[in-house]
Structure 1
Amino acid sequence: MTAPPSTHPLEWIVAEGRTPYAEALSAMEDHVAAIRAGTAAERVWLVEHDPTYTAGTSARPEDLHDARFPVFAAGRGGQWTYHGPGQRTGYVMLDLNRPHGGVPPRDVRAYVHGLEDWLIRALDRFNVTAERREGRVGLWVANRATGGEDKIAAIGVRVTRWVTWHGVALNVDPDLSHFGGIVPCGISAHGVTSLHAQGILATMEEADAALASAWGEVFG
């Protein structure tokens, strides 16, 4: 049976400045518990972190080449990820007991597909074509110089008693050399890119606006 609609409207929060990663983990955990208890609204929380490497539950120690930045066990799915200035991290806390737009209840695969759609639609607003690739996590764009593909956005989620946390990371204008300390998401055969590296000199505010306008097209 599908849960009744939440009585709390979705919260859309853009954090000012930079949010310490440990603080974000603690805040997400507390908010997810409150959503489960029915005392808090679902939330999309957009943050920016100081340079940080995070390890998902499948991260391999050998894929951390250079621990030049603080390292955290994230508790999400996936492998190694970098967060830092110029990257918009979106923490999505939804109750999957309920449907969200075209995403049916209690379907984690459909939820992840929805996150991908959200990012694809947001990037399309900048005329950037991002695509999924079988066997590769994240979203990919063509690298015209090499003929290959580079990752422009990462996805890593956790679901606790059907409430989601963690989420997505969109590269707006991070220092791409910072990814060199890890094998991002365990994939060494492809590079990493950003909107600015693609020639799209978008501001973080413009990226946020694209994410906000694309949200309802996927999650209702």
Structure 2
Amino acid sequence: MKNKQVFFEDWGLIDYKEAWDRQEAIFAATVKLKTELRNRGENDASFTGIKTVTHNYLIFCEHPHVYTLGKSGKKEHLLLTEDQLAEKHAVFYPINRGGDITYHGPGQLVVYPILDLDNFFTDIHLYLRTLEEAVILTLADFGIPGGRYPGYTGVWLDADDPQKARKICALGVRCSRWVTMHGLAFNINPNLGYFKNIIPCGIEDKAVTSMEQELGKKVPVKEASEVLKRHLYILFGMLA
């Protein structure tokens, strides 16, 4: 039985490690329940008992200054020493998502979907493209034309021109037994100077941008969040 109900949570500005631990706890509990259900045969069509289902979560938040490195990333893509990190009031974490290095900070909307994709579709490529599409649609609502850059994940502007292409949203996910965690980082109005301290996503020759940079004015994170949330619910067929 598919359960498309999604519990939405706004964690506000939260320490990265605290959010990671909370994600891990929800993720581990979901995987554990899913394994137990399969072992008991409750997902079998012939099972006649009371159905138990896995839950889905959509978490929005912002983080204090932090750099995170995915499993396929290179430590040398962080261009700061430990002392320089401290001077910038930033921290660094190697983590268990896909992708390379990225930055999170105030003014950037971070989205953590913890979904059992068996409730939606079991296609990780489609999952990533759907996350991207929600951001592309959100940008369009604010008059910013976004798109995809061939060979890379995330959402880009002027993706058809290699000289102008710049990234506005990064993706990095983990998936086990079709349960997801981590997600996307959408630049609303962060301090873009912090991206100069890394080789973002391991891409040396492409710029990073934000909604503020493109529009010439700040966009309230809450306003962009509501638009993105709506598109995610529609595209995934989520139920509140």
Q: In the alignment, which residue of structure 1 is the partner of 2:111? A: 90
Question: Which of residues 74, 78, 96 is equivalent to 1:64?
Answer: 78
**What secondary structure is seen at the aligned counterpart in 2 of 1:179?**
helix
Q: Which residue of 1 aligns with 2:47?
A: none
Following TM superposition, by how much is the alpha carbon of 1:124 offset from its aligned partner in structure 2, in angstroms? 1.3
Aligned to 1:194: 210
Query: Could you say which residue in structure 1 is the equivalent of 2:27?
Result: 32
Deviation at 1:24, TM superposition (A): 1.0
Q: TM-score, normalised by structure 1?
A: 0.89
Is the contact made by 1:123 and 1:210 (CA closer than 8 Å) also made in structure 2? no
> Which is greater in Rg?
2
In the alignment, which residue of structure 1 is the partner of 2:10? 14
Which sits farther off after the overlay, 59-68 or 113-122?
59-68
| Aligned-residue offset at 1:147 | 5.5
The answer to whether the 8 Å contact 1:31/1:40 transfers is no
Alignment partners' CA distance in 2, 1:94 and 1:181 = 32
> Which residue of structure 1 lines up, in the alignment, with residue 102 of structure 2?
81
**Could you say what secondary structure the match of 1:5 adopts?**
coil
- In the other structure, the counterpart of 1:132 is 148
CA distance in 2, matches of 1:74, 1:130: 28
2:5 and 2:206 map into 1 onto residues whose CA distance is 40
Deviation track 1:158-179 (CA, whole Å, cap 9, x = no partner) reads 0022100000010000000001
Of 222, 227, 232, which aligns to 1:205? 222
Report the AA paired with residue 207 of structure 2: G
| Larger relative helix fraction | 2
CA deviation map 1:110-139 (0-9, x unaligned): 111111111111111111111111122211
Instruction: Give the deviation of 1:40 after TM superposition.
Output: 6.0
**Quick check: 2:147–2:158 contact (8 Å CA) kept in 1?**
no
Question: How many residues get paired?
Answer: 208
The structure 1 segments of at least 4 consecutive aligned residues displaced by more than 3 Å after TM superposition are none
Alpha-carbon distance in structure 2 between the residues aligned to 1:84 and 1:40: 31
Q: 1:98, 1:41 → 2: CA distance? A: 9
TM, length-normalised to structure 2 = 0.82
CA contact (8 A) 1:87 1:170 kept: yes
Counterparts of 1:61 and 1:31, CA distance in 2: 28
SS of the residue 2:172 aligns to: strand
Identity of aligned residues (%): 33
Ranges in structure 2 where 5+ consecutive residues have no aligned partner: 35-52
Distance in 1 between residues matched to 2:219 and 2:163, nearest whole Å: 24
d(CA) in 2 for partners of 1:22 and 1:201? 28
Q: Deviations over 1:13-60 (max 9, x none)?
A: 1123x2111111111111112223167631110010000000001111
RMSD: 1.8
Map of 2:57 onto structure 1: 43
Query: What residue is the counterpart of 1:5 in the other structure?
Result: 2
Q: What amino acid is the match of 2:5?
A: P
In structure 1, give the amino acid aligned to 2:156.
W
Q: Is contact 1:80-1:182 (8 Å) kept?
A: yes
